[in-house]
Amino acid sequence: MKIVVEDSAYQWFCQEYGVQPNEFVRFYVRYGGSSPVNTSYSLAISMEPPKEIGIQTVVEGVTFYIETDDLWYLKEHNLRVTVDLNGELAYKYE
């Protein structure tokens, strides 16, 4: 499993969250919504330092990660973070 943050998504985080090098973006599981890999659950975002990183990628000095406790959500899929045609953040499971 891995996280891929496309350039468009990185730019989205810069504009919407003002991310800077040496900061952390956490993807975590929340109850509600749905996804192609899990019904009743979806991903949410927070800006916080990690406790126990399960997987991560670093883009322009910004660490994007999922905690070990949330890896079950991906069910062995890779997570691709992108921006859809409406300019909204989107997730693809590969």
34: confidence class by pLDDT, cuts 50, 70, 90: low
The correct CATH number of 3-93 out of 3.60.15.10, 2.60.300.12, 3.40.640.10, 2.40.50.140 is 2.60.300.12
pTM equals 0.93
Residues 33-55, mean pLDDT to the nearest whole number: 88
What is the rounded CA–CA span in Å between residue 86 and residue 3? 22
Q: From 17, 4, 2, 1, select the one nearest 59 (Cα to Cα).
A: 4
The answer to whether 44 and 27 are in contact (CB under 8 A) is yes
Residues whose CB falls within 8 Å of the CB of residue 55, separated by 6 or more in sequence, listed in order: 1, 2, 3, 65, 66, 71
